[in-house]
Structure 1
Amino acid sequence: MKTLPSISPELKKVLKKLKLGPIIATLPDRMALAEMQKLSLEETLLLVLSDEIARRESSACARRAAKAGLDPDMTLERWDSSAKVRYDKRVLAELTSLRFIEASKNAVILGPVGVGKTFLASALGHIACRHGYNVIFTRADAMLRRLKQSRLDNSRDAVMTELSTIDLLVVDDFALEPMTRDESRDVYQLFVERSGRASTIVTSNRDTSEWLAAFDEVLLAQSAVDRFIHNAFDLVVEGESYRARLKPKVSDDDPPPSSPVEKKTLIGKRR
Protein backbone atom coordinates (compact mmCIF):
# COMPACT_ATOMS: atom_id res chain seq x y z
CA MET A 1 0.00 0.00 0.00
CA LYS A 2 1.39 3.36 -1.04
CA THR A 3 2.21 5.82 1.74
CA LEU A 4 0.24 9.06 1.69
CA PRO A 5 2.20 12.28 1.11
CA SER A 6 3.22 14.06 4.31
CA ILE A 7 2.53 17.69 5.17
CA SER A 8 5.39 19.78 6.47
CA PRO A 9 5.05 21.64 9.79
CA GLU A 10 5.60 24.90 7.89
CA LEU A 11 2.63 24.24 5.59
CA LYS A 12 0.45 23.28 8.54
CA LYS A 13 1.37 26.53 10.25
CA VAL A 14 0.50 28.58 7.17
CA LEU A 15 -2.82 26.79 6.69
CA LYS A 16 -3.78 27.40 10.31
CA LYS A 17 -2.79 31.07 10.05
CA LEU A 18 -5.09 31.38 7.03
CA LYS A 19 -7.85 29.63 9.02
CA LEU A 20 -7.61 26.63 6.69
CA GLY A 21 -6.60 24.18 9.40
CA PRO A 22 -9.40 21.68 8.63
CA ILE A 23 -7.80 21.10 5.21
CA ILE A 24 -4.89 19.36 6.93
CA ALA A 25 -6.97 16.25 7.67
CA THR A 26 -7.84 15.58 4.01
CA LEU A 27 -4.88 17.16 2.22
CA PRO A 28 -2.70 14.00 2.09
CA ASP A 29 -5.54 12.07 0.42
CA ARG A 30 -6.10 14.88 -2.06
CA MET A 31 -2.38 15.13 -2.83
CA ALA A 32 -2.27 11.38 -3.47
CA LEU A 33 -5.33 11.62 -5.72
CA ALA A 34 -3.79 14.53 -7.62
CA GLU A 35 -0.61 12.54 -8.19
CA MET A 36 -2.51 9.43 -9.29
CA GLN A 37 -4.74 11.34 -11.72
CA LYS A 38 -1.90 13.65 -12.80
CA LEU A 39 -3.90 16.76 -11.96
CA SER A 40 -2.45 20.18 -12.68
CA LEU A 41 -1.66 22.60 -9.86
CA GLU A 42 -4.82 24.56 -10.65
CA GLU A 43 -6.96 21.41 -10.64
CA THR A 44 -5.45 20.30 -7.34
CA LEU A 45 -6.08 23.68 -5.73
CA LEU A 46 -9.65 23.63 -6.99
CA LEU A 47 -10.17 20.15 -5.51
CA VAL A 48 -8.72 21.06 -2.10
CA LEU A 49 -10.49 24.41 -1.81
CA SER A 50 -13.79 22.91 -2.98
CA ASP A 51 -13.52 20.47 -0.07
CA GLU A 52 -13.13 23.40 2.30
CA ILE A 53 -16.10 25.24 0.81
CA ALA A 54 -18.25 22.12 1.21
CA ARG A 55 -17.07 21.71 4.82
CA ARG A 56 -17.84 25.33 5.68
CA GLU A 57 -21.26 25.18 4.06
CA SER A 58 -22.04 21.99 5.97
CA SER A 59 -20.88 23.55 9.25
CA ALA A 60 -22.90 26.70 8.62
CA CYS A 61 -25.98 24.62 7.86
CA ALA A 62 -25.53 22.63 11.07
CA ARG A 63 -25.20 25.85 13.07
CA ARG A 64 -28.33 27.33 11.48
CA ALA A 65 -30.32 24.16 12.19
CA ALA A 66 -29.13 24.02 15.80
CA LYS A 67 -29.83 27.71 16.36
CA ALA A 68 -33.28 27.23 14.83
CA GLY A 69 -34.13 24.59 17.42
CA LEU A 70 -34.75 21.88 14.82
CA ASP A 71 -34.67 18.24 15.85
CA PRO A 72 -31.61 16.81 14.03
CA ASP A 73 -33.42 13.51 13.43
CA MET A 74 -36.44 15.06 11.71
CA THR A 75 -35.09 15.41 8.19
CA LEU A 76 -36.81 14.41 4.97
CA GLU A 77 -34.16 11.74 4.40
CA ARG A 78 -35.30 10.05 7.62
CA TRP A 79 -39.00 10.24 6.82
CA ASP A 80 -40.40 6.72 6.60
CA SER A 81 -42.12 6.63 3.22
CA SER A 82 -43.80 3.33 4.15
CA ALA A 83 -45.79 5.06 6.91
CA LYS A 84 -49.53 4.63 6.51
CA VAL A 85 -50.27 8.31 6.15
CA ARG A 86 -51.80 10.17 3.23
CA TYR A 87 -51.00 13.66 1.97
CA ASP A 88 -50.78 15.48 -1.35
CA LYS A 89 -47.25 14.72 -2.56
CA ARG A 90 -47.52 17.56 -5.08
CA VAL A 91 -47.94 20.07 -2.27
CA LEU A 92 -45.01 18.62 -0.33
CA ALA A 93 -42.86 18.72 -3.47
CA GLU A 94 -43.80 22.37 -3.96
CA LEU A 95 -42.87 23.17 -0.36
CA THR A 96 -39.54 21.33 -0.55
CA SER A 97 -38.64 23.46 -3.58
CA LEU A 98 -38.70 26.44 -1.16
CA ARG A 99 -40.40 28.62 -3.77
CA PHE A 100 -42.94 29.50 -1.09
CA ILE A 101 -40.16 31.15 0.94
CA GLU A 102 -38.91 33.05 -2.08
CA ALA A 103 -42.47 34.30 -2.67
CA SER A 104 -43.15 35.00 1.05
CA LYS A 105 -46.00 32.49 1.12
CA ASN A 106 -47.04 30.38 4.10
CA ALA A 107 -47.82 26.72 4.72
CA VAL A 108 -50.38 25.07 6.97
CA ILE A 109 -49.83 21.43 7.93
CA LEU A 110 -53.04 20.00 9.35
CA GLY A 111 -54.01 16.59 10.68
CA PRO A 112 -54.84 14.56 13.78
CA VAL A 113 -52.39 13.84 16.58
CA GLY A 114 -49.34 11.79 15.68
CA VAL A 115 -49.46 11.66 11.88
CA GLY A 116 -46.10 13.41 11.39
CA LYS A 117 -47.00 17.10 11.08
CA THR A 118 -44.12 18.21 13.29
CA PHE A 119 -41.73 15.90 11.45
CA LEU A 120 -42.64 17.33 8.04
CA ALA A 121 -42.50 20.92 9.29
CA SER A 122 -39.07 20.27 10.82
CA ALA A 123 -37.87 18.60 7.62
CA LEU A 124 -38.84 21.71 5.65
CA GLY A 125 -36.93 23.79 8.19
CA HIS A 126 -33.82 21.67 7.64
CA ILE A 127 -34.09 22.06 3.87
CA ALA A 128 -34.34 25.83 4.32
CA CYS A 129 -31.24 25.84 6.56
CA ARG A 130 -29.30 23.89 3.93
CA HIS A 131 -30.09 26.56 1.38
CA GLY A 132 -28.97 29.49 3.48
CA TYR A 133 -32.23 30.58 5.12
CA ASN A 134 -32.43 31.47 8.80
CA VAL A 135 -35.14 29.55 10.63
CA ILE A 136 -36.86 29.51 14.01
CA PHE A 137 -38.78 26.42 15.11
CA THR A 138 -40.99 26.91 18.15
CA ARG A 139 -44.06 25.41 19.73
CA ALA A 140 -46.89 27.91 19.82
CA ASP A 141 -47.15 27.83 23.62
CA ALA A 142 -43.40 28.37 24.03
CA MET A 143 -43.51 31.32 21.63
CA LEU A 144 -46.38 32.93 23.52
CA ARG A 145 -44.59 32.41 26.85
CA ARG A 146 -41.49 34.02 25.39
CA LEU A 147 -43.49 37.04 24.26
CA LYS A 148 -45.18 37.27 27.66
CA GLN A 149 -41.80 37.22 29.39
CA SER A 150 -40.50 39.87 27.00
CA ARG A 151 -43.12 42.28 28.32
CA LEU A 152 -41.73 41.85 31.81
CA ASP A 153 -38.08 42.43 30.90
CA ASN A 154 -38.71 45.16 28.30
CA SER A 155 -37.38 43.05 25.43
CA ARG A 156 -40.66 42.69 23.54
CA ASP A 157 -39.64 44.89 20.62
CA ALA A 158 -36.46 42.86 20.10
CA VAL A 159 -38.27 39.52 20.38
CA MET A 160 -41.09 40.60 18.08
CA THR A 161 -38.59 41.93 15.54
CA GLU A 162 -36.73 38.61 15.56
CA LEU A 163 -39.93 36.61 15.11
CA SER A 164 -41.29 39.00 12.49
CA THR A 165 -38.20 39.12 10.29
CA ILE A 166 -36.73 35.60 10.40
CA ASP A 167 -36.73 34.03 6.92
CA LEU A 168 -38.86 31.06 8.01
CA LEU A 169 -40.84 30.79 11.23
CA VAL A 170 -42.18 27.33 12.07
CA VAL A 171 -44.94 27.38 14.72
CA ASP A 172 -45.88 23.92 15.96
CA ASP A 173 -49.21 22.94 17.58
CA PHE A 174 -51.00 26.23 16.98
CA ALA A 175 -54.49 26.89 18.41
CA LEU A 176 -54.44 23.95 20.81
CA GLU A 177 -55.92 26.07 23.59
CA PRO A 178 -57.58 29.49 23.98
CA MET A 179 -55.33 32.54 23.97
CA THR A 180 -55.48 35.49 26.33
CA ARG A 181 -56.06 39.04 25.12
CA ASP A 182 -52.32 39.79 25.01
CA GLU A 183 -51.54 36.49 23.29
CA SER A 184 -54.21 37.16 20.67
CA ARG A 185 -52.72 40.56 19.97
CA ASP A 186 -49.23 39.08 19.75
CA VAL A 187 -50.33 36.52 17.16
CA TYR A 188 -52.25 39.19 15.25
CA GLN A 189 -49.18 41.45 15.14
CA LEU A 190 -46.93 38.57 14.13
CA PHE A 191 -49.20 37.39 11.32
CA VAL A 192 -49.72 40.93 10.03
CA GLU A 193 -46.04 41.89 10.11
CA ARG A 194 -44.93 38.68 8.39
CA SER A 195 -47.70 38.81 5.79
CA GLY A 196 -46.16 39.26 2.35
CA ARG A 197 -42.70 39.78 3.87
CA ALA A 198 -41.61 36.40 5.24
CA SER A 199 -42.82 32.81 5.31
CA THR A 200 -44.44 30.94 8.17
CA ILE A 201 -45.25 27.26 8.58
CA VAL A 202 -47.97 26.42 11.10
CA THR A 203 -48.91 22.92 12.23
CA SER A 204 -52.21 22.30 13.97
CA ASN A 205 -54.58 19.54 15.01
CA ARG A 206 -57.45 21.93 14.34
CA ASP A 207 -58.80 22.99 10.97
CA THR A 208 -58.17 26.64 10.14
CA SER A 209 -61.92 27.29 10.54
CA GLU A 210 -61.50 26.42 14.23
CA TRP A 211 -58.61 28.83 14.82
CA LEU A 212 -60.94 31.79 15.33
CA ALA A 213 -62.26 30.28 18.55
CA ALA A 214 -58.76 30.28 20.06
CA PHE A 215 -58.50 34.09 19.90
CA ASP A 216 -59.76 36.38 22.63
CA GLU A 217 -60.95 39.04 20.17
CA VAL A 218 -63.09 38.12 17.16
CA LEU A 219 -62.02 41.01 14.93
CA LEU A 220 -58.33 40.36 15.53
CA ALA A 221 -58.92 36.68 14.87
CA GLN A 222 -60.70 37.25 11.58
CA SER A 223 -58.06 39.65 10.32
CA ALA A 224 -55.08 37.55 11.41
CA VAL A 225 -56.38 34.19 10.24
CA ASP A 226 -57.72 35.56 6.95
CA ARG A 227 -54.37 37.17 6.11
CA PHE A 228 -52.53 33.97 6.93
CA ILE A 229 -54.62 31.23 5.33
CA HIS A 230 -55.25 33.09 2.07
CA ASN A 231 -51.51 33.27 1.53
CA ALA A 232 -50.79 29.66 2.52
CA PHE A 233 -50.39 26.24 0.95
CA ASP A 234 -52.43 23.54 2.70
CA LEU A 235 -50.82 20.18 3.45
CA VAL A 236 -53.34 17.86 5.09
CA VAL A 237 -51.90 14.68 6.62
CA GLU A 238 -54.20 11.77 7.45
CA GLY A 239 -53.74 8.17 8.50
CA GLU A 240 -52.21 6.12 11.28
CA SER A 241 -49.93 7.58 13.94
CA TYR A 242 -46.37 8.13 12.74
CA ARG A 243 -45.00 8.38 16.28
CA ALA A 244 -44.79 4.62 16.73
CA ARG A 245 -42.08 4.66 14.05
CA LEU A 246 -40.06 7.14 16.12
CA LYS A 247 -40.22 4.99 19.26
CA PRO A 248 -36.72 3.96 20.47
CA LYS A 249 -35.85 0.34 19.78
CA VAL A 250 -33.04 -1.97 20.87
CA SER A 251 -31.12 -3.39 17.92
CA ASP A 252 -28.82 -6.40 17.79
CA ASP A 253 -26.76 -4.50 15.21
CA ASP A 254 -26.12 -1.63 17.63
CA PRO A 255 -25.32 -3.00 21.11
CA PRO A 256 -24.90 -0.55 24.00
CA PRO A 257 -21.35 0.63 24.79
CA SER A 258 -19.39 -0.97 27.60
CA SER A 259 -19.59 2.24 29.66
CA PRO A 260 -22.16 5.07 29.87
CA VAL A 261 -21.79 7.82 27.29
CA GLU A 262 -20.58 11.27 28.29
CA LYS A 263 -22.81 14.32 28.06
CA LYS A 264 -22.49 16.10 24.73
CA THR A 265 -22.21 19.86 24.40
CA LEU A 266 -25.24 21.11 22.49
CA ILE A 267 -24.96 23.84 19.86
CA GLY A 268 -27.82 26.30 20.09
CA LYS A 269 -30.92 26.01 22.19
CA ARG A 270 -34.33 24.65 21.31
CA ARG A 271 -37.04 27.23 21.63
Structure 2
Amino acid sequence: MNTTQTIEKMQQMRLLGMADFYKEIVENNLFRESTLDEILGMLIDREWDERRNRKMRTLLKSANFKTMVDTKNILYSSERNLTRNTYERLMSLQFLYNNENIIITGSTGVGKSYLAQVLGTLACRQLHKVIYINCGVLFEKIRIAKVEGSYLNLLKKMERTDLLIIDDFGIHEFNNEVRTAFLDIIEMRYDQSSSIVCSQLPVSKWYDTIGEPTIADAILDRIVNSSHRLDLKGKSLRTLETKE
Protein backbone atom coordinates (compact mmCIF):
# COMPACT_ATOMS: atom_id res chain seq x y z
CA MET A 1 0.00 0.00 0.00
CA ASN A 2 1.44 3.38 -1.03
CA THR A 3 0.41 5.65 1.84
CA THR A 4 1.61 8.85 0.17
CA GLN A 5 -0.45 8.23 -2.96
CA THR A 6 -3.53 7.40 -0.89
CA ILE A 7 -3.23 10.65 1.06
CA GLU A 8 -2.70 12.64 -2.15
CA LYS A 9 -5.81 11.10 -3.68
CA MET A 10 -7.82 11.99 -0.59
CA GLN A 11 -6.56 15.57 -0.80
CA GLN A 12 -7.40 15.80 -4.50
CA MET A 13 -10.92 14.62 -3.71
CA ARG A 14 -11.09 17.34 -1.02
CA LEU A 15 -11.30 14.73 1.74
CA LEU A 16 -9.01 16.91 3.82
CA GLY A 17 -10.11 15.80 7.27
CA MET A 18 -9.88 12.17 6.27
CA ALA A 19 -6.43 12.71 4.72
CA ASP A 20 -5.05 14.34 7.88
CA PHE A 21 -6.40 11.63 10.14
CA TYR A 22 -5.22 8.84 7.85
CA LYS A 23 -1.74 10.33 8.03
CA GLU A 24 -1.97 10.27 11.84
CA ILE A 25 -3.06 6.63 11.76
CA VAL A 26 -0.10 5.62 9.65
CA GLU A 27 2.46 7.66 11.58
CA ASN A 28 1.27 6.33 14.97
CA ASN A 29 0.61 2.73 13.89
CA LEU A 30 -3.02 2.94 14.97
CA PHE A 31 -3.85 0.06 12.63
CA ARG A 32 -2.66 -2.29 15.37
CA GLU A 33 -4.87 -0.76 18.06
CA SER A 34 -8.21 -0.52 16.24
CA THR A 35 -10.40 -2.72 14.09
CA LEU A 36 -11.10 -1.86 10.46
CA ASP A 37 -14.65 -0.78 11.37
CA GLU A 38 -13.34 1.51 14.10
CA ILE A 39 -10.78 3.10 11.78
CA LEU A 40 -13.37 3.61 9.06
CA GLY A 41 -15.71 5.22 11.57
CA MET A 42 -12.98 7.55 12.84
CA LEU A 43 -12.02 8.54 9.29
CA ILE A 44 -15.62 9.42 8.46
CA ASP A 45 -16.09 11.31 11.74
CA ARG A 46 -12.96 13.37 11.12
CA GLU A 47 -14.07 14.23 7.57
CA TRP A 48 -17.55 15.13 8.84
CA ASP A 49 -16.09 17.46 11.48
CA GLU A 50 -13.68 19.03 9.00
CA ARG A 51 -16.46 19.81 6.51
CA ARG A 52 -18.72 21.18 9.22
CA ASN A 53 -15.96 23.43 10.55
CA ARG A 54 -15.07 24.58 7.05
CA LYS A 55 -18.68 25.51 6.35
CA MET A 56 -18.93 27.28 9.70
CA ARG A 57 -15.84 29.36 8.95
CA THR A 58 -17.28 30.30 5.55
CA LEU A 59 -20.60 31.35 7.11
CA LEU A 60 -18.85 33.45 9.76
CA LYS A 61 -16.82 35.21 7.11
CA SER A 62 -19.73 35.86 4.76
CA ALA A 63 -21.90 37.18 7.62
CA ASN A 64 -19.65 40.25 7.62
CA PHE A 65 -19.67 40.84 11.36
CA LYS A 66 -17.83 44.00 12.35
CA THR A 67 -16.28 42.62 15.54
CA MET A 68 -15.24 39.38 17.19
CA VAL A 69 -17.60 38.50 20.04
CA ASP A 70 -17.45 36.29 23.11
CA THR A 71 -20.36 35.39 25.38
CA LYS A 72 -17.99 35.77 28.35
CA ASN A 73 -17.86 39.52 27.69
CA ILE A 74 -21.61 40.08 28.06
CA LEU A 75 -22.36 42.35 30.99
CA TYR A 76 -25.55 41.33 32.75
CA SER A 77 -27.06 43.80 35.21
CA SER A 78 -30.38 45.25 36.27
CA GLU A 79 -29.01 48.71 35.44
CA ARG A 80 -28.62 47.62 31.81
CA ASN A 81 -32.05 45.97 31.87
CA LEU A 82 -30.35 42.76 30.72
CA THR A 83 -30.67 39.57 32.75
CA ARG A 84 -28.77 36.36 32.13
CA ASN A 85 -31.97 34.31 32.07
CA THR A 86 -33.58 36.50 29.39
CA TYR A 87 -30.60 36.59 27.06
CA GLU A 88 -29.64 32.94 27.47
CA ARG A 89 -33.11 32.01 26.30
CA LEU A 90 -32.36 33.94 23.12
CA MET A 91 -28.96 32.26 22.84
CA SER A 92 -30.74 28.91 22.63
CA LEU A 93 -31.76 30.17 19.15
CA GLN A 94 -35.31 28.93 19.63
CA PHE A 95 -36.49 32.24 18.16
CA LEU A 96 -34.69 31.28 14.95
CA TYR A 97 -36.42 27.91 14.71
CA ASN A 98 -39.76 29.62 15.36
CA ASN A 99 -39.13 32.31 12.69
CA GLU A 100 -39.43 35.05 15.30
CA ASN A 101 -37.72 38.44 15.35
CA ILE A 102 -35.71 40.33 17.96
CA ILE A 103 -35.72 44.08 18.48
CA ILE A 104 -32.82 45.58 20.46
CA THR A 105 -33.17 49.25 21.37
CA GLY A 106 -31.13 51.63 23.50
CA SER A 107 -28.89 54.65 23.30
CA THR A 108 -25.57 54.61 21.51
CA GLY A 109 -22.84 52.44 22.99
CA VAL A 110 -25.00 50.27 25.27
CA GLY A 111 -24.11 47.08 23.41
CA LYS A 112 -26.95 46.55 20.93
CA SER A 113 -24.70 45.56 18.04
CA TYR A 114 -22.58 43.30 20.23
CA LEU A 115 -25.55 41.33 21.53
CA ALA A 116 -26.95 40.99 18.01
CA GLN A 117 -23.61 39.73 16.70
CA VAL A 118 -23.35 37.21 19.53
CA LEU A 119 -26.65 35.69 18.39
CA GLY A 120 -25.52 35.86 14.77
CA THR A 121 -22.25 34.10 15.58
CA LEU A 122 -24.07 31.35 17.46
CA ALA A 123 -26.37 30.91 14.46
CA CYS A 124 -23.38 30.57 12.11
CA ARG A 125 -21.88 27.95 14.42
CA GLN A 126 -25.12 26.01 14.01
CA LEU A 127 -24.66 26.34 10.23
CA HIS A 128 -27.33 28.97 9.65
CA LYS A 129 -26.76 31.62 7.00
CA VAL A 130 -26.49 35.07 8.54
CA ILE A 131 -26.13 38.59 7.13
CA TYR A 132 -25.11 41.48 9.37
CA ILE A 133 -25.62 44.85 7.71
CA ASN A 134 -25.85 48.51 8.68
CA CYS A 135 -29.17 50.03 7.66
CA GLY A 136 -27.45 52.79 5.67
CA VAL A 137 -25.40 50.20 3.76
CA LEU A 138 -28.58 48.24 3.05
CA PHE A 139 -30.26 51.35 1.66
CA GLU A 140 -27.25 52.00 -0.59
CA LYS A 141 -27.28 48.39 -1.81
CA ILE A 142 -30.96 48.80 -2.66
CA ARG A 143 -30.27 51.97 -4.62
CA ILE A 144 -27.38 50.40 -6.57
CA ALA A 145 -29.32 47.18 -7.23
CA LYS A 146 -32.22 49.12 -8.75
CA VAL A 147 -29.87 51.11 -10.97
CA GLU A 148 -27.96 48.01 -12.11
CA GLY A 149 -31.06 45.85 -12.56
CA SER A 150 -30.04 43.35 -9.86
CA TYR A 151 -32.81 44.17 -7.41
CA LEU A 152 -34.49 40.77 -7.67
CA ASN A 153 -31.16 39.08 -6.95
CA LEU A 154 -30.80 41.21 -3.83
CA LEU A 155 -34.28 40.21 -2.68
CA LYS A 156 -33.50 36.52 -3.24
CA LYS A 157 -30.30 36.83 -1.24
CA MET A 158 -32.19 38.39 1.65
CA GLU A 159 -34.94 35.80 1.39
CA ARG A 160 -32.50 32.86 1.55
CA THR A 161 -30.79 34.23 4.68
CA ASP A 162 -31.80 32.44 7.89
CA LEU A 163 -31.00 35.43 10.10
CA LEU A 164 -30.84 39.02 8.88
CA ILE A 165 -29.32 41.51 11.35
CA ILE A 166 -30.06 45.16 10.55
CA ASP A 167 -28.06 47.61 12.64
CA ASP A 168 -28.64 51.35 13.20
CA PHE A 169 -32.25 51.22 12.04
CA GLY A 170 -33.91 54.64 12.00
CA ILE A 171 -30.76 56.74 11.68
CA HIS A 172 -30.88 56.93 7.90
CA GLU A 173 -33.70 58.62 6.03
CA PHE A 174 -36.43 56.57 4.37
CA ASN A 175 -37.41 57.76 0.88
CA ASN A 176 -40.08 56.23 -1.35
CA GLU A 177 -37.61 53.86 -3.02
CA VAL A 178 -36.22 52.60 0.27
CA ARG A 179 -39.63 52.26 1.93
CA THR A 180 -41.05 49.98 -0.74
CA ALA A 181 -37.84 47.95 -0.99
CA PHE A 182 -37.64 47.52 2.78
CA LEU A 183 -41.24 46.32 2.79
CA ASP A 184 -40.40 43.86 -0.01
CA ILE A 185 -37.57 42.39 2.08
CA ILE A 186 -39.62 42.16 5.27
CA GLU A 187 -42.61 40.73 3.39
CA MET A 188 -40.54 37.98 1.73
CA ARG A 189 -39.01 36.98 5.05
CA TYR A 190 -42.19 37.20 7.11
CA ASP A 191 -42.97 33.95 8.94
CA GLN A 192 -40.20 32.23 6.94
CA SER A 193 -37.04 33.37 8.74
CA SER A 194 -35.84 35.66 11.52
CA SER A 195 -34.49 39.19 11.72
CA ILE A 196 -32.76 41.19 14.44
CA VAL A 197 -33.23 44.95 14.29
CA CYS A 198 -31.01 47.25 16.38
CA SER A 199 -32.03 50.87 16.86
CA GLN A 200 -31.29 53.89 18.99
CA LEU A 201 -34.92 54.88 18.54
CA PRO A 202 -37.67 53.35 20.68
CA VAL A 203 -40.19 51.32 18.71
CA SER A 204 -42.83 53.99 19.38
CA LYS A 205 -40.91 56.36 17.03
CA TRP A 206 -40.43 53.91 14.17
CA TYR A 207 -43.78 54.70 12.58
CA ASP A 208 -42.92 58.35 12.03
CA THR A 209 -39.37 57.47 10.97
CA ILE A 210 -40.55 55.18 8.18
CA GLY A 211 -43.21 57.64 7.00
CA GLU A 212 -46.04 56.83 4.55
CA PRO A 213 -48.64 55.37 6.97
CA THR A 214 -49.71 52.39 4.85
CA ILE A 215 -46.17 51.09 4.33
CA ALA A 216 -45.16 51.89 7.91
CA ASP A 217 -48.13 49.88 9.21
CA ALA A 218 -47.22 46.92 7.00
CA ILE A 219 -43.53 46.93 8.01
CA LEU A 220 -44.16 47.28 11.72
CA ASP A 221 -46.90 44.68 11.69
CA ARG A 222 -44.46 42.11 10.28
CA ILE A 223 -41.49 43.03 12.48
CA VAL A 224 -42.91 44.04 15.84
CA ASN A 225 -45.78 41.61 16.42
CA SER A 226 -43.57 38.52 16.26
CA SER A 227 -40.61 39.92 18.15
CA HIS A 228 -38.73 39.52 21.39
CA ARG A 229 -37.58 42.89 22.75
CA LEU A 230 -34.48 44.01 24.57
CA ASP A 231 -34.58 47.63 25.68
CA LEU A 232 -31.09 48.30 26.99
CA LYS A 233 -30.45 51.02 29.55
CA GLY A 234 -27.45 52.59 31.23
CA LYS A 235 -24.35 54.44 30.18
CA SER A 236 -22.29 53.80 27.08
CA LEU A 237 -20.01 50.78 27.50
CA ARG A 238 -17.46 52.54 25.32
CA THR A 239 -17.30 55.40 27.84
CA LEU A 240 -16.85 52.93 30.70
CA GLU A 241 -14.06 51.10 28.84
CA THR A 242 -12.29 54.41 28.17
CA LYS A 243 -12.42 55.36 31.86
CA GLU A 244 -11.07 51.97 32.89
| Smaller-chain TM-score bracket | 0.7 to 0.9
Query: What is the CA deviation profile of residues 25-54 of structure 1, one whole-angstrom value per residue up to 9, with x for unaligned ones?
Result: 444444538468x32222222223212211
Q: CA deviation at 1:231?
A: 0.6
Report SS of the residue matched to 1:201: strand
Query: What is the CA deviation profile of residues 47-95 of structure 1, one whole-angstrom value per residue up to 9, with x for unaligned ones?
Result: 2321221121111011011112124612435x34478844133332222
Residue pair 1:135, 1:167 contacting (<8 A) in 2 also:
yes
* Distance in 1, Cα, partners of 2:7 & 2:67: 33
The equivalent residue for 1:265 is: none
The equivalent residue for 2:237 is: 242
* Distance in 2, Cα, partners of 1:8 & 1:33: 12
Q: CA deviation at 1:97?
A: 1.5
The equivalent residue for 2:82 is: 87
Moved more, 43-52 or 62-71: 43-52
Q: CA deviation at 1:245?
A: 7.7
Residue pair 2:69, 2:118 contacting (<8 A) in 1 also:
yes
Bigger helix fraction: 2
Residue pair 1:91, 1:233 contacting (<8 A) in 2 also:
no
* TM-score (ref. length: structure 1): 0.78
* Distance in 2, Cα, partners of 1:244 & 1:61: 34
* Distance in 2, Cα, partners of 1:80 & 1:103: 25
Q: Provide structure 1 residue ranges, at least 5 long, that are not aligned to the other structure.
A: 1-6, 248-271
Residue pair 2:7, 2:22 contacting (<8 A) in 1 also:
no
Q: How many residues align?
A: 240
* Distance in 2, Cα, partners of 1:185 & 1:75: 36
Report SS of the residue matched to 1:176: coil
Moved more, 215-224 or 167-176: 215-224
Matched, 1:210 2:209: no
In structure 2, relative to structure 1, the CA distance for the partners of 1:123 and 1:202 (3 Å cut) is same
Q: Provide structure 2 residue ranges, at least 5 long, that are not aligned to the other structure.
A: none
The equivalent residue for 1:258 is: none
* Distance in 1, Cα, partners of 2:164 & 2:181: 15
Superposition RMSD in Å: 2.6
The equivalent residue for 1:197 is: 192
Instruction: Give identity over the alignment, percent.
Output: 21
Q: CA deviation at 1:139?
A: 0.5
Q: CA deviation at 1:137?
A: 0.9
Q: Which stretches of structure 1, 4 residues or longer, exceed 6 Å deviation after superposition?
A: none
State the one-letter code of the partner of 2:183. Answer: Y
The equivalent residue for 2:150 is: 155
Query: What is the CA deviation profile of residues 180-227 of structure 1, one whole-angstrom value per residue up to 9, with x for unaligned ones?
Result: 122122222222222212111101111111111211312211221122
Report SS of the residue matched to 1:238: coil
Residue pair 1:88, 1:235 contacting (<8 A) in 2 also:
no
Matched, 1:45 2:40: yes
Residue pair 1:86, 1:238 contacting (<8 A) in 2 also:
yes
